[in-house]
Amino acid sequence: MKVIFSLAFYSLISRKVSVFLTILCVSLSIILFSSIDNFRQSAKKTFFSNAKSGDLIITSRSGEIESLLYLIFQIGTPTNNIRWKSFKDIQNHPDVKWAIPISLGDSHKQYRVLGTSSDYFKKIQIKNKKLEFYKGEHFKDIFDVVIGYDVAKTLNYKLNDKIIVAHGISSQDFHDEFPFRINGILKKSGSNTDKLIFVSLEALEAIHKDWQGGFKLPNVKSKPTSFNKSELVPKEITGAIIKLNSKIKIFQFKRDLHKYKSEPIQAIIPGLALTKLWQIVSFVEQILFLICYFVIFITLLGMAASIYTNVNQRNNEIALLRVVGASPRSIFSILILEGIMISLTSILISILLMLLLNIILNPILDREYGIYLEYNFLSTYNIIFYCSVVLISILVGLIPAYRGYKKSLNSGI
């Protein structure tokens, strides 16, 4: 076997340029496949881990996925609000361990402003870790604000800097009479929270005192100092994240909430809603994978064609090997092994390049999309994939190997 290996290896070395190009093609096609899979897995993991803190998401009745995406990931358009009284009813339910209100709508320089209670920073977990402060702490005063790491970094904000919140996501109307003071900056979490600006619900209530139906009332101007915290009770919120005392009660609680009489409310199980979302996109995923497998197959077929062409030019080599004692099976094995070596080297190179790509791309993807690529080349999925690449290379390699075998039967001095 060692001989067969050496002969195959040296034969490949002697054709280094064409072999290098073949390895490059196979590596790139493996990288294409791995990148798509890596991105898909990482995005899925990021989405699921970000939505894991609560057992249920409460919103007004609307599309489950749409509501979840908006409330947890701030993706999409606003849904209807639920009344503060309804939230308090739910929060005070004996089965509820904790409930965190969330109010969305305003923004600051394209970053979403999220109104919540200070419990958000104690209860919400991202990737199984509680949110931590890089600097400062959560809001103490009404007009205190906590900003995500990316917001601070991108906009070069420091503690105690003042910021003005705009009404709506791309509005030209600013709540400029109510400047917020940065009281805390969160540590990087690799999630959408890095791009959020957190304010208290009281603050949101305060800055909207002079607003009605989405418009600022003319000739009314409240002052920041004129508010008493106890008076600033929100009328509505976008939704809430609920944690129950017992996971067993999730489905019963969800059913009960759907029967809530005061207003139409829905409870979403985040994991289930995200699974539904993934089922919708899985069709596109499957097509992408099919294309990638096709690319790999074609590339390996190219490799087989290159070995095949080479077999036709190796009459002397095959004849010599046969005469010095190599069996036709040995010739067959050498040619199959050449294919395997090419595919194994390509896999190795693609793993190294993928690790390098991850180092280069991770900061960009994390910054832009909150997705942190975790490339585990030893995962069962990847190992199965690499084995299938080797298997395909063996299968397509059978064509030149059989050609070599037939040739060796008739070769000689």
Interaction site with another protein (CB under 8 A): 3, 6-7, 10-11, 13-14, 316-317, 319-328, 330, 411-413
Q: CB-wise, 238 or 408, nearer to another protein?
A: 408
Cβ burial, residue 323 (10 Å; 0-12/13-18/19+) = exposed
Minimal distance, residue 302 CB to another protein, in Å: 22
Q: CB-wise, 276 or 329, nearer to another protein?
A: 329
User: Please, are residues 228 and 130 in contact by the beta-carbon 8 Å criterion?
Assistant: no
Q: Which residue has the tokens 């209807």?
A: 80
Minimal distance, residue 333 CB to another protein, in Å: 12
Q: Cα(184)–Cα(327) distance, rounded to whole angstroms?
A: 75
Q: CB-wise, 234 or 328, nearer to another protein?
A: 328
Tally of CB atoms within 10 A around 374: 14
Strands (DSSP E) found in 196-312? 196-200, 211-212, 215-216, 236-237, 239-244, 265-268
Q: How close are the terminal C-alpha atoms of the chain, in Å?
A: 25
Element (H, E) at 295: helix 270-312
Q: Which of 143, 162, 106, 168 is nearest to 224 (CA)?
A: 143
Q: CB-wise, 2 or 223, nearer to another protein?
A: 2
Minimal distance, residue 26 CB to another protein, in Å: 21
Helix (H, G, I), strand (E, B) or coil at 266: strand
Minimal distance, residue 345 CB to another protein, in Å: 17
Token pair of 291 as six digits? 């294309």
Q: Which residue has the tokens 């340029």?
A: 17
Minimal distance, residue 154 CB to another protein, in Å: 55
Q: CB-wise, 13 or 378, nearer to another protein?
A: 13
Q: CB-wise, 12 or 257, nearer to another protein?
A: 12
Minimal distance, residue 399 CB to another protein, in Å: 23
Minimal distance, residue 348 CB to another protein, in Å: 22
Q: CB-wise, 193 or 306, nearer to another protein?
A: 306
Which residues make beta-bridge pairs with 330?
none
Q: CB-wise, 195 or 407, nearer to another protein?
A: 407
The CA-atom distances, in angstroms, between 209 and each of 86, 165, 168, 220, 263 are: 21, 14, 15, 9, 24
Minimal distance, residue 306 CB to another protein, in Å: 16
Q: CB-wise, 16 or 276, nearer to another protein?
A: 16
**DSSP single-letter state for residue 192:** G
Token pair of 230 as six digits? 């106890």
Q: CB-wise, 378 or 413, nearer to another protein?
A: 413
Q: Which residue has the tokens 């999630």?
A: 191
Rounded (10°) CA dihedral 135, 138, 144, 146? 60
Q: Cα(411)–Cα(328) distance, rounded to whole angstroms?
A: 10
The CA-atom distances, in angstroms, between 276 and each of 54, 142, 196, 373 are: 18, 39, 26, 22
Minimal distance, residue 276 CB to another protein, in Å: 58
Minimal distance, residue 9 CB to another protein, in Å: 9
**What angle do the packed helices 270-312 and 64-73 form, to 10 degrees?**
90
